[in-house]
């Protein structure tokens, strides 16, 4: 479903995603280009407008999420989404739960990774977010494997024996028992929270609810300036997105 | 293929993976447990040996790679493997190239992510590494989608129109032209190198060979002690694994 | 010499330094305050203008350098200046060399640390920088212990038997021999460079010139939001200022 | 007082400090050297024992603290000590308070920075620590400006109108009122705590006690391997030492 989209970039700040079938005119930092003309440009090629070169690339899921998603909330960024998928062992055929849906960034990664035989059950209590997430996902998803629930998981999770669950909610400690019921034994739980206070409170709740805590960590990405002769990290970087907590459901104690 | 494996851990330093069908006796820090007895323990449960509790979990690909892989080289660690998969858009059905195979850690992640319709073409010039990687992968892979090449890509890459390629070799600048030939237009290239000198030299080679460089970065993971009342990062952490370079093949200039 | 200066801050973005004897009117985010009125406010007290509270504090050297210095160059920031002083053992009575003077931020720290019996010999080849640095330093320095040289150290250093030398120049490898001549045996050398290429070239030059390299490092400061209930690092942080290299002059090999 | 001490290092792991007047025999990784012979070696020179070269340098305060101090507690490391001195504006003539004394590492830095006209008032409640700190400091201090108090500051601080105070105690929130009484208006307070829970509790106490909080931060040092051709950070690094909190006493609200 990303096949009809392209990424246009000037290698500087301009990075935008367009649907090649519906774009009429693209405004560029140095001018504009017509949608018809754009269709003739092969992916991997470039064009020049007023002495600046623009590159046309295929649109990766990364690009769609970073440059095109309609955001109404802080999204889970690719650096965290990537590690979450590895830590929760998200893979073909798995059944995964998630709350809240938010803008659907992580949902998109999960959906693609579990494939046509897997399922992603995603919960979101705020109605407007559900509809935006649905729209976001309809434009990028490859598989018809997402089940949307417009409800808070405080009111219970409908599925059972899930392989993994991911929580991106303000007070995860309020829903650990619900998640526990929905997970299979040894099932994986991942949680993202921005503050240390939330980490402490979540750890306590996980310990109270018989989860084995695998790891508490943060993923920091340090970007470099692309300059072979003057290599150095960028002057300004993202200082913090959130803390990650991973655990497994223990059944017998 | 990981279904027959389990992870046993005491929540401290002891983390080991076993094949439940073949394990006879497991040595533990506080004693041992018999293979037959282990089979009766449900995943997600625990057992006690000499006052220490041990947990039995299903074996994730993460666990297999971190605690069970036969390593003869520095492996690509999960924190980098995860981000590489997102940045190279590794997903169902894709055709991916890789050199060198090394111990097969990244190959395992790629194989699972591209699924049964995808392919991973992996090159390794050192014979003993090929056979160890094959053994490592035979024990964890879910899909029969890996093609092993026992050769250096300096002698050419046999495939064409690949969606993405990943390089974990000492001198990537020697093989950029070969990788370029093997990639489709707009195809993605990822490179991991440990030193800044290699980053500089690789950037120059990519620029000379008409690659668009998306990003140069490093992924730093900071783990915390799991202690709600005394939350703090671990005293010692991994200071460096490597630098990542991502680019796309440009065709027209 | 900082006794006549005050720091005014609203605890948000507004942080400004004023000379209490010469300030006439201070523009504030929410209005203004008269210089005469300001004189009556004790350091450590606050005043309110249009519902916003402003605090009046004594002006530390840190404040002077961060919020008041006339800058025409990238300054050496306090986090690096602090570590440099410890690593070069800057202390009362020492004789220290420095090039270039730049805006004089580090010179100010050195001057205060060596005290009235010490000396700071500072070299700067660009005339306009010398005069700005002199002005900056005249307003904050406590001791009359700075000797300004308006020349490049490529043309030689006039002093001998210095305890330590600090280099903040674009091509430190061009002046290592001059610095070597100026240092006493076992004397300390510190160097700040922004790029990895410069680090490599500097290490080579130090090794060629018989310096013992103690350390190559970077100092990263991670600030937190001041919020007890929602403690977390700031969203955006300084990603890079520079790399530090420290060595000692070896005399016999 | 460090003039009689030398640092001997092989440029690898061996880094040791000796008193040149009292050392009899030095055990080295590859053999030993006699104290008499050592006295003939100029600082900045080297000697060879069984094919390994050893360097003899003057002993900086950094060296004394890192390689020679008798430690019975976690010390304040130079990277933090350096930044604390800048942030608390420790400089000639200042009167500084500190609790606890611990091993005296920070006391040593403070003593040297305030010089002969300044004073360091240091509090320590555990008797054995007082005597070890006294011994540590007697061997390195240049100035007779340290006043030792063998008492907990929970029982009050004897001084008034101090320029700055530094707290390295387990529960700083228990002594904020005492520190407040001892500081002059606009006086600076620095605090080091290892856990996020302590940071939160300390912030609350500072706010309750009318301190203006300047900054909450951590100082991370990343060391590199000294290799010009293969430049890269060290594989393993210190992940955490502590969080720093800085504030100023506000008097009128």
Read off the pLDDT of residues A102-148 as tens digits, 9 standing for 90 and up.
999 999 999 999 999 999 999 999 999 999 999 999 999 999 999 99
Number of domains in chain D: 2
CATH of the domain at B18: 3.10.330
Can you give the pLDDT at residue A1? 79
Inter-chain contact A232–C240, Cβ cutoff 8 Å?
yes
Last residue of a domain, one of D25, D40, D59: D59
Can you give the pLDDT at residue C68? 95
Could you tell me if A128 and A231 lie in one domain? Answer: yes
Range(s) of the domain holding residue A36: 5-59
- Give the separation between CA D236 and CA C231, rounded to whole angstroms: 27
Structure token pair of residue A200: 């402490």
Could you tell me if B90 and B193 lie in one domain? Answer: yes
CB-CB contact of D200 with C229 (8 Å): yes
Structure token pair of residue A35: 């949608």
Could you tell me if D45 and D116 lie in one domain? Answer: no
**Residues of C whose CB is below 8 A from A196:** 231-232
Q: Which helix (H) or strand (E) holds A137?
A: helix A127-138
Chains in touch with D (3+ beta-carbon pairs under 8 Å) read A, B, C
Could you tell me if C52 and C149 lie in one domain? Answer: no
- Give the separation between CA D143 and CA C82, rounded to whole angstroms: 21
Can you give the pLDDT at residue A253? 63
| pLDDT, averaged in runs of 10, over chain C (253 residues) | 95 96 95 95 96 97 96 91 98 97 97 97 96 95 96 97 98 98 98 98 98 98 98 97 98 79
Structure token pair of residue A149: 């629930």
Inter-chain contact A236–C236, Cβ cutoff 8 Å?
yes
Among A194, A200, A220, pick the best mutation site for testing chain D contact (most D Cβ within 10 A).
A200
Average pLDDT, chain B: 96
- Give the separation between CA D106 and CA D120, rounded to whole angstroms: 10
The alpha-carbon gap from D130 to the nearest alpha carbon of chain C, in Å, equals: 25
The mean pLDDT value for B30-47 works out to 96
Exposure of B213 by Cβ count < 10 A (0-12 exposed, 13-18 middle, 19+ buried)? middle
**Residues of B whose CB is below 8 A from A188:** 60
Q: Which helix (H) or strand (E) holds D62?
A: helix D61-67
Can you give the pLDDT at residue B72? 83
Encode pLDDT of B163-200 as tens digits. 999 999 999 999 999 999 999 999 999 999 999 999 99
What angle (nearest 5°) sits at the alpha carbon of residue B163, between those of residues B160 and B166? Answer: 95
A154: confidence class by pLDDT, cuts 50, 70, 90: very high
**Is the backbone peptide bond immediately before A100 cis, with ω within 30 degrees of 0?**
yes
Could you tell me if C186 and C105 lie in one domain? Answer: yes
Last residue of a domain, one of A59, A80, A99: A59
Q: Which residues pair with B19 in a beta bridge?
A: B5
Could you tell me if A129 and A238 lie in one domain? Answer: yes
Could you tell me if C24 and C107 lie in one domain? Answer: no
**Residues of B whose CB is below 8 A from A229:** 200
Tally of helices (H runs) and strands (E runs) in chain B? 7, 14
Can you give the pLDDT at residue C253? 63
Encode pLDDT of B208-247 as tens digits. 999 999 999 999 999 999 999 999 999 999 999 999 999 9
Residue in B with minimal Cα distance to D221: B239
B253: confidence class by pLDDT, cuts 50, 70, 90: low
Among D193, D194, D200, D245, pick the best mutation site for testing chain A contact (most A Cβ within 10 A).
D200
Can you give the pLDDT at residue A73? 83
Can you give the pLDDT at residue D253? 63
Last residue of a domain, one of D17, D42, D59: D59
In B23-176, beta strands by DSSP E: 25-28, 31-34, 46-49, 52-58, 95-99, 119-123, 146-149, 162-167
- Give the separation between CA D166 and CA D22, rounded to whole angstroms: 35
Can you give the pLDDT at residue C72? 83
B1: confidence class by pLDDT, cuts 50, 70, 90: confident
Encode pLDDT of D135-192 as tens digits. 999 999 999 999 999 999 999 999 999 999 999 999 999 999 999 999 999 999 999 9
Among C201, C228, C239, pick the best mutation site for testing chain A contact (most A Cβ within 10 A).
C239
The alpha-carbon gap from D226 to the nearest alpha carbon of chain C, in Å, equals: 7
Exposure of D53 by Cβ count < 10 A (0-12 exposed, 13-18 middle, 19+ buried)? middle
The stretches of chain B forming alpha helices (DSSP H) are: 35-39, 61-67, 78-87, 105-114, 127-138, 176-182, 196-208
Inter-chain contact D221–C216, Cβ cutoff 8 Å?
no
Residue in B with minimal Cα distance to C201: B197
Encode pLDDT of B96-117 as tens digits. 999 999 999 999 999 999 999 9
CATH of the domain at D156: 3.40.50.150
Does residue A171 belong to the interface with chain C, where contact is any CB pair within 8 Å?
Answer: no
Can you give the pLDDT at residue B179? 98
Residue C193 has φ and ψ, to the nearest 5°, of: -135, 145
D60: confidence class by pLDDT, cuts 50, 70, 90: very high
Could you tell me if A38 and A126 lie in one domain? Answer: no
| Buried-state track B179-196, b at ≥16 Cβ within 10 A, e below 16 | bbebbbbbbbbbbbbbbb
The alpha-carbon gap from A230 to the nearest alpha carbon of chain C, in Å, equals: 5
Inter-chain contact B236–D233, Cβ cutoff 8 Å?
no
Q: Say if residue B153's pLDDT is above 80.
A: yes
Instruction: Kindly state the DSSP code that residue A195 receives in the 8-state scheme.
Output: S
Chains in touch with B (3+ beta-carbon pairs under 8 Å) read A, C, D
Does residue B197 belong to the interface with chain D, where contact is any CB pair within 8 Å?
Answer: yes
Could you tell me if A155 and A220 lie in one domain? Answer: yes
Could you tell me if D26 and D102 lie in one domain? Answer: no
Does residue A232 belong to the interface with chain C, where contact is any CB pair within 8 Å?
Answer: yes
Residue B99 has φ and ψ, to the nearest 5°, of: -150, 140
Does residue C196 belong to the interface with chain B, where contact is any CB pair within 8 Å?
Answer: yes
Exposure of C10 by Cβ count < 10 A (0-12 exposed, 13-18 middle, 19+ buried)? middle
pTM for the structure as a whole: 0.97
Could you tell me if A79 and A161 lie in one domain? Answer: yes
Q: Say if residue D1's pLDDT is above 90.
A: no
Compute the CA torsion angle C41, C44, C48, C49 (nearest 10 deg). 70
Could you tell me if B20 and B115 lie in one domain? Answer: no
Sequence-distant (≥ 6) Cβ neighbours of residue D116 within 8 angstroms: C92, D143, D144, D145
């Amino acid at each position: 479903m990303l096949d009809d989209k392209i990424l246009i970039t000037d290698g500087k700040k301009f990075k935008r995603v367009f649907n090649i079938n519906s774009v009429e005119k693209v405004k560029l930092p140095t001018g504009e280009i017509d949608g018809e003309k754009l269709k003739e440009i092969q992916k991997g090629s470039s064009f020049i407008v007023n002495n600046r070169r623009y590159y046309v690339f295929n649109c990766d899921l990364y690009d769609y999420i970073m440059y095109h998603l309609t955001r109404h909330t802080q999204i889970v960024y690719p650096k965290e989404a990537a590690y979450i998928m590895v830590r929760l062992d998200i893979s073909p055929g798995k059944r995964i739960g998630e709350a809240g849906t938010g803008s659907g960034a992580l949902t998109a990664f999960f959906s693609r990774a579990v494939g046509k035989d897997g399922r992603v059950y995603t919960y979101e209590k705020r109605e407007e977010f559900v509809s935006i997430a649905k729209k976001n996902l309809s434009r990028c998803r490859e598989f018809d494997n997402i089940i949307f629930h417009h409800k808070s998981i405080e009111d219970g999770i409908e599925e059972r024996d899930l392989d993994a669950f991911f929580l991106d909610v303000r007070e995860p400690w309020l829903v650990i028992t619900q998640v526990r019921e929905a997970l299979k034994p040894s099932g994986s739980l991942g949680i993202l929270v921005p503050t240390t206070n939330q980490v402490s409170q979540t750890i306590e709740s996980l310990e109270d609810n018989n989860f084995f805590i695998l790891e508490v960590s943060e993923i920091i990405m340090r970007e470099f300036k692309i300059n072979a002769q003057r290599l150095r990290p960028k002057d300004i970087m993202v200082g913090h997105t959130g803390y990650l907590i991973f655990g497994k459901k223990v059944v017998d104690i």
